[in-house]
Homo-oligomer: A and B are copies of this chain.
């Protein structure tokens, strides 16, 4: 690790910000998989140990780089805990609960715009989906996770787009419980239903 110590600046007040900026740039342009903590540290001019010290694991760093107003893994933990039965409704309820909170809306919109743009392709495919949503399906013990994931993403992404980004009425003003009644069974089918 000593080679990465060139230019190290552990005491600089902007060290955290520099690491986050380097992480965002790498994750967005290269994706989660091929990006190493070592590369991010080198780009930020710090020791990799400092990255771990500030942010924990590579996954933790990725979630921090997304700058979300909530840790999605905390929100999704209860979804997994209760098992595959009804997971679609619970996943959707958790998602709407976070999005319907006015204080969290603005940073979430920024996040949605960044991953729904073509330039955010990496952040979604080899990033948010594999790092945050994929593990939920795996932890639920589902089969064929790779094929289920894009279908789940298509409905959740489309719903966020129409309800929160484009504010399509009457969907935008509909009580969350009604949305879950209509869309919940869709998510459940994509999670546990038959695949061709």
Chain A: residues with CB nearer than 8 A to chain B? 116, 118, 121, 124-125, 129, 146-147, 150-151, 153-159, 161-163, 165-171, 174, 177-178, 181-183, 185-186, 189-190, 193, 195-196
Contact with A158, one of B118, B159, B170 (Cβ below 8 angstroms):
B159
Within the complex, what minimum Cβ distance (angstroms) separates A95 from chain B?
Answer: 13
Q: In the complex this chain forms, how many copies of it are found?
A: 2
Main secondary structure of the interface of A (DSSP, over half): helix
**Residues in B neighbouring A163, C-beta threshold 8 A:** 150, 154
Within the complex, what minimum Cβ distance (angstroms) separates A78 from chain B?
Answer: 23
Closest 4 CB pairs of A and B: A158-B158, A150-B171, A154-B158, A178-B196
Name, among A158, A165, A178, the residue most crowded by chain B CB atoms within 10 Å (CB to CB): A158
**Residues in B neighbouring A125, C-beta threshold 8 A:** 166, 168-169
On whether the beta carbons of B159 and A171 are closer than 8 Å, the reply is no
| Given A116-B116, A118-B165, A165-B118, CB of A170 within 8 Å of CB of B147 | yes
Contact with A189, one of B161, B171, B186, B195 (Cβ below 8 angstroms):
B186
Contact with A153, one of B124, B156, B162, B182 (Cβ below 8 angstroms):
B162
In the assembled complex, 13 residue pairs joining A and B whose CB atoms fall closer than 8 Å, in A order, are A118-B166, A125-B166, A147-B170, A150-B162, A150-B171, A151-B182, A153-B158, A153-B168, A155-B155, A156-B158, A157-B161, A158-B161, A186-B186
| Given A178-B196, A181-B196, A189-B186, CB of A121 within 8 Å of CB of B166 | yes
Cα distance A174–B124 in the bound complex, in angstroms: 19
Name, among A129, A169, A186, A190, the residue most crowded by chain B CB atoms within 10 Å (CB to CB): A186
**Residues in B neighbouring A159, C-beta threshold 8 A:** 154, 158
**Residues in B neighbouring A155, C-beta threshold 8 A:** 154-155, 158, 186
